[in-house]
Amino acid sequence: MADFKIGAYICKGCGIEDRLDVNQLTQTATRDGKAAIGKDHEFLCNAEGVKMIQDDIDNEGVNRVVIAACSRRAKTDAFSFDGVTISRANLREGVIWIRPDEDEHQETTQEMADDYVRMACAEAKSSTPPAASGEQEVNRRIMVVGGGIAGMTSAIEAAKTGYEVELVEKSGALGGVAAELYKRTPKRNGLAGPADNDTADLIAAVEGSDKITVHLNASLTKTDGAPGRFSAEIATESGSSTTVSVGAIVQATGFKPYDMSQLPEFAPDNADVVDQLTFEKMVKANDGAIKKADGSDAKNVVFVQCAGQRSDKEGHLPYCSGHCCTTSIKQAQYVKAAGGDATVIFDDLRTPGATGEDFYRSGQEAGVAFSKGAVSGVAAGGNGLEVSYNDKILNEDTAINADIVVLATGMVPNSGPNPYLITELGEAREKDNKELMAQIEAEIAIQPESILNLGYRQGTDLPILRDGFNDSHFICFPYETRRTGIYASGPLRRPMDIVQTVEDATGATMKAIQACENAGLGRAAHPRSGDLSFPSFRREGCTQCKRCTVECPFGAINEDEEGYPQYNEARCRRCGTCMGACPVRVISFENYSIETVGQQIKNVDIPDEFDEKPRILMLACENDAYPALDMAGMTKQTYSPWVRIVPVRCLGSVSTIWITDALNSGFDGIILAGCQKGENYQCHFVRGSEMAHMRMSKIDDTLSQLNLEKERVSTLEVAITDIQRLPEEINKMEKTIEEIGMSPFKF
C-alpha cells in the first residue's frame, strides 16, 4: 500500500462537544488510529473548518482524511477533497442523537464515539484515493430506438442540448401509434374536449433537425460495448448497413394493443367489435364520421372498459394500462359530435393527469352516458349487438344495444425477448429437469425478435419484469435499467398516456446524457453517481470460478481468453456484488474492500466477558438501512449502546469472511440490514439483497462449527422508512444476547 498520512478532524458543533470528550476523541485518533494529525473545530463544515483541512492536504501531506462529525450522508459538498480518501465517523446521528442525555449513559456513549473514530481511521489506512482511468472521451451521440412519441421526444430533447442522435425506426414512417390518432387527449384545459393531433409537428421538428439522423425501415443487428463507447450496427430493408458509435441508448419501442381474440365472450370475430386503436383509425379514415363495418352510420356505440385487463384470469393483463379511460371518453365525444349516443361501461374510471378530471367533465357535458357495471358478454342481437352487464348501481343484470362495441383492451409493451429465459433454461439443464426445460423451450419459441441484439452474456435485450415491461424500478432507480447506459422510456417502461410519455422520454434522455458525461470521466451511474472507484482483482489468487461473472446484476464482467474476469468499467455500478461473491477474496475497490471493512470490524474495542458489555455488529446497506438509522437519530429514537454500525454499498457486497472474523473477534451478535428482495424488490442493485440472503442462509453451518447459536446472526429486509423498526431490531438482538449469553470467543 502506498504511504499514507491520516488527518483526523473532530467537530464540536451540533451538540457533540456537550455530550462527548472531544480531547479524548482526538487522542483516540492519534494513539489508536495512528493519525498523524488530530484537530478539532467548533464547526468543521463551515468555511474556516474546511480550509483547515484543505491546508493540511496542501501543506502537510495529508492524503487520508477522517471526519468525525455528522453522518457520511450529510455535508457531502463541504467535505469533498480531491486526491484523498475520506472516512466518516458518525458522532451526531449515530451516537449523541440515539443515546439518552443522562450521566449514567455517558461512559457507554463515549465508548461508541471512540470506536467509531478508531473504525474510521482503520478504514482510512486501508483505502486508496480512487482516480479516473482515463480510458474514454465523452461521446455526445445518443441512439434512440423507436420513432413514436417517446422516441421522437428523446431525439428532440437530446438535440436541444447539442447532442447528436441516431434515430432508428423499423417502419417506413415516424409517429408510431400517435400518428394514427384522429385527435388526442388535451395537454391543457380538459374542459375543451379532444385536442387536435399535433404528432405531425413533432415529426417535422425531428426531420428538420441537423442533429438528428433518421433511419427508417431499419433495425439493430448488433449492439456491443458500454456507456461512452457503444457500437451499433444498423441495417435497412434495402440490405445496406452502417455502424455508429454512441455514448448511450434510449429504447422507446412503444406498445401494441392486447389481442382481443383472447376474449371470446366479447365476440371478437364480429366486425363491429373493435379495440380502441382500430376505432381511432376508423374515425380518422372517415374524417370524424362513425361508420359500421358495412359502411352504414353507427348511432349507438358502447365502450367496454378493462376488457382483458386488471384481471387475474390466465392470459389477461393484471395491470391498468393508464390511458384507456381517457381514450374512451375522447372517443365517446367523437360519437356525440357525429350525432350518435355513447355509453361507457366501467368498473373504476381512472383519468390520471392534471387535465383528467376536467376531461371527464367535458364528456359528461357532451352527453356521454357513464354506467358503472361489469360486462359479461357481447353477442349479435336485433339489428346490431347486445352488451350484457351487471349494473353495479342498481345491482341487477341488464343489457344494452349497440351498433359498435369498443373494447378497452390495454397495452402490451414491445419489449423484445426475455433474456432471462436462456439463463433459466441453462439452470434447468444443469438440474436435468426435463419438464421445466420443455416449458421454457416452449416459451422461448414464441418470444418476439430481438430489438437491441446486445452482445452481452446475459442476453440480447433488456431484462423484463413479470408483466413484460422493461425493468426500471420506480423507487430505486427510475429510468435506469439493468444494462448501464441503456434506458427504457414510454409505454415500454410502464403503461402511460401521451403526456406522461413525453415527460418520461425527457427524463430518460437526461439520464442518457448523464451516462455519456459520467462515462467520459470514468464515473459510475446511479445510485453511486460520480463514484470513481472501480473493482480490480488479484490475478494470481483467482480460481476462475466465474461467480463474479454470473452474479453481477449489470453484465459488467466477462471472461478473457484464459477464463479470468474481464471488467467493463463503464457498465459497472460499483455495488461490490462481485466482491461479496468471490470465495477467495481477490476482488476489491480502491476505497472499499475486504480489508477496509475487515479492519473496521477488527478495530472495535471488545470488552471481556466480565465487563458485561456485549458488542453487536450491524452491516447496513447505505441506500435504505443506513438512511433509516440516520432518520432514527434525527427523530431521537434510542437504541443499544453495544451496536457498532458499518455502512456497506450493498448487502450483496458482504463477504462471509466479515461474519467469521467478527465472531472470532468476540462480537456477540451480527445484524445484516439490506433492502427488500423478491418480486417487489427495493434493492438499488437489483439482486444484491437476495444474493446476500442466499449466502447467509449457509452461515448456520459456520455457526455450528464454531459451537455458536444461530440466533447470533440475523438478516433483515428493511425499507428507508423503518426508522422505528431498525432500533427495535437492534434492541431485540441485545435481548437475545442477554438470553443466550455472550460469545465464548471473548478475549
**What is the tens place of the pLDDT at every residue in 543-576?**
999 999 989 989 899 888 898 999 888 899 999 9
pLDDT (0 to 100) of residue 443: 85
Query: With 60 as the cut, is the pLDDT of residue 657 above it?
Result: yes
Q: Which CATH number fits domain 141-254+451-521: 3.40.710.10, 3.50.50.60, 3.30.465.10, 3.40.50.2020?
A: 3.50.50.60
CA dihedral 513, 517, 518, 519 (to 10 degrees): 100
Q: Taking Cα atoms as reference points, which of 147, 45, 131 lies closest to residue 91? A: 45
Peptide bond into 495 cis (omega under 30): no
Rounded to the nearest angstrom, the gap between the alpha carbon of residue 296 and the centroid of all alpha carbons in its chain is 51
pLDDT tens, position by position, 5-26:
999 999 999 999 999 999 999 9
Give me the numbers of helices (H) and strands (E) for the chain, helices first please: 20, 31
pTM for the model stands at 0.90
Q: What pLDDT is stored for residue 730 in this prediction?
A: 97
> What does the alpha-carbon distance between residue 694 and residue 652 come to, in Å, rounded to a whole number?
10
For residue 213, what are the contacts with CB-CB under 8 A and spacing of at least 6? 164, 165, 166, 167
> What residue ranges of the chain are covered by domains with CATH 3.40.50?
1-129, 606-747
The string of pLDDT tens digits covering residues 177-197 is: 999 999 999 999 999 999 999
Q: How far apart are CA 589 and CA 587, in angstroms?
A: 7
The three-state secondary structure class of 149 is helix
Amino acid sitting at position 342: A
> In Å, how far are 7, 132, 249, 570 from 135, measured between CA atoms?
32, 8, 20, 10
Q: In sequence order, what are the residues at sequence separation of 6 or more whose Cβ sits closer than 8 angstroms to the Cβ of residue 395?
A: none
**Angle, alpha carbons 6-9-14 (nearest 5°):** 155
The stretch 39-44 carries a mean pLDDT of 96
* Distance in angstroms (rounded) separating the CA atoms of residues 448 and 412: 12
pLDDT at 135: 67
Secondary structure (H, E, C), 321-386? CCCHHHHHHHHHHHHHHCCCEEEEEECCCCCCCCCHHHHHHHHHHCCCEEEEEEEEEEEEECCEEE
The answer to whether 117 touches 28, Cβ cutoff 8 Å, is: yes
Q: Outline which parts of the chain fall under CATH 3.50.50.60.
A: 141-254+451-521, 258-412
Residue 172's Cβ-count burial label (10 Å; 0-12, 13-18, 19+) is exposed
Q: Is 544 left (phi over 0), alpha (psi -120 to 50) or beta?
A: left
Region of residue 21 (left: phi > 0; alpha: psi -120 to 50; beta: else): beta
- Helix orientation angle between 434-445 and 420-430, rounded to the nearest 10 degrees: 160
Q: Strand 557-559 and strand 141-145: pairing?
A: unpaired
CA distances from 630 to 8, 73, 96, 301, 625 (A): 22, 9, 12, 58, 9
> Rg (Cα) of the chain, in Å, rounded?
31
Hey, what's the cell of 518?
A: 459520467
Whether 97 and 633 have beta carbons less than 8 Å apart is answered as yes
CATH node for 1-129: 3.40.50
What percent of the chain stands above pLDDT 90? 80
Q: What is the 3-class SS of 18-35, one letter each residue?
A: HHCCHHHHHHHHHHHCCC
Phi-psi region of 236 (alpha: psi -120 to 50; beta: other; left: phi over 0): beta
Q: What would the grid cell of residue 39 be?
A: 484537530
What burial class does residue 180 get, using C-beta atoms within 10 Å of its C-beta: 0-12 exposed, 13-18 middle, 19+ buried? middle
CATH topology of domain 258-412: FAD/NAD(P)-binding domain (3.50.50)
Q: Look at residue 1 in the predicted model and tell me its pLDDT.
A: 43
Q: What stretch of H or E contains 663?
A: helix 656-665
Q: What is residue 291's three-state secondary structure?
A: strand
User: Are residues 342 and 405 in contact, defined by beta-carbon separation less than 8 angstroms?
Assistant: no
When comparing pLDDT for 246 and 419, which is higher?
Answer: 246
Mean pLDDT for all residues in the chain: 93
Alpha-carbon distance of 665 to 271, in angstroms, equals 77
CB 207 within 8 A of CB 199: no
Question: How sure is the predictor about 167, in pLDDT bands with cuts at 50, 70 and 90?
Answer: very high
Report the CATH fold assignment for 606-747: Rossmann fold (3.40.50)
- For the beta carbon of residue 89, count every other beta carbon within 10 angstroms: 32
- Only one residue has cell 476505497, namely 591
536-588 classified as CATH 3.30.70.20 = yes
| 108-153: pLDDT as tens digits | 999 999 999 999 999 999 999 988 777 677 899 999 999 999 999 9
Cα-Cα-Cα-Cα torsion 145, 149, 154, 160, nearest 10 degrees, comes to 140
Return the half-sphere exposure (C-beta side, CA atoms, 13 A cut-off) of residue 233. 11
Whether the pLDDT of residue 611 is over 90: the answer is: no
